[in-house]
Amino acid sequence: MLEHYRKSNWSADLAVVTGDLIQDDSAGAYVHFCQLLGTIGLPVHCVPGNHDIRALMRDALAAPPFHYCDSVQSGNWLIIGIDSCVTGQAGGHVTDSELERLEETIAAAAEPNAMVCLHHPPVPMGSQWLDTVGLDNGDEFLRRVRDMGKVRLAIFGHVHQPYDADHGGVRIIGTPSTCRQFAQASEDFALDDSPPAYRRITLLADGSFEHDLVWLNK
Ligand SMILES: [Fe+2]
């Protein structure tokens, strides 16, 4: 994926990684991640996924170009990462304190538009097994995000497949993995043969945005 990005003529201002940076619970895996992502010359904003170890991840991402659950201004937009993980569980939950931090940060920001980044999908995927490990308070998350008034989109990972739908004025966008993909609409865990992917998102000054999904075999 990094090789594809480097060879493309599309240049980003920052990278967002929506969790599951590692899978083997080791500090060394974060060193490897930082070595790889440190080569693209961009700020790298990360949120934890269920496979991450918060303490190790925070330490590894403590200094620029890496950022852990941080917020950043970009043009007319605030980009903010939140923690949706529950220790020891595959499924997610956004705590009250994290929702309050989100509300306060967005209310205090001068930017009129916001993009929220989290690991778990706040809406059902239509896949029986994945919908048991989604965000268990997705409805509350969406209601409170809508009430904030500035959130135009929320992006997530976790489900290893594409997703894009409007939910009451907030666009919810999921991006496939940079590794293997899960079969869509599957009752049980199943992989498919889709290649790795990443998404290019362009946040425009008027609060609109453009995005496209890049499959690495195309
Ligand atoms: Fe995950």
pLDDT for 13-58, tens place per residue?
999 999 999 999 999 999 999 999 999 999 999 999 999 999 999 9
Cα(110) to centroid of ligand 1, in Å?
32
β pairing state of 151-156 and 113-117: parallel
Cα(205) to centroid of ligand 1, in Å?
32
Cα(130) to centroid of ligand 1, in Å?
10
Average model confidence (pLDDT) across the chain: 96
How many structural domains comprise the chain? Answer: 1
Cα(52) to centroid of ligand 1, in Å?
9
Cα(17) to centroid of ligand 1, in Å?
12
* Token representation of residue 157: 């990972």
Cα(157) to centroid of ligand 1, in Å?
7
Under DSSP, is residue 168 helix (H, G, I), strand (E, B) or coil?
coil
- Tell whether omega for the bond before 121 is within 30 degrees of 0, i.e. cis: no
pLDDT tens for each residue of 82-123: 999 999 999 999 999 999 999 999 999 999 999 999 999 999
pTM: 0.97
Cα(179) to centroid of ligand 1, in Å?
12
Tell me the residue type at 212.
Answer: D
Give the DSSP H/E element, type plus range, for residue 4. Answer: helix 2-7
Cα(112) to centroid of ligand 1, in Å?
30
Tokens 């409170």, residue located: 144
The length of the chain is 218
Residue 146: the pLDDT is 98
Q: Which are the contacts of 184, defined by CB distance < 8 A and separation ≥ 6?
A: 125, 126, 127, 161, 192
Containing domain of residue 114, as a range? Answer: 2-215
Residue 10 pLDDT > 90, yes or no? yes
Cα(18) to centroid of ligand 1, in Å?
9
Cα(25) to centroid of ligand 1, in Å?
14
Tokens 């790795």, residue located: 196
What does DSSP assign to residue 113? E
Give me the CATH number covering residue 204.
Answer: 3.60.21.10
- Tell whether omega for the bond before 65 is within 30 degrees of 0, i.e. cis: yes
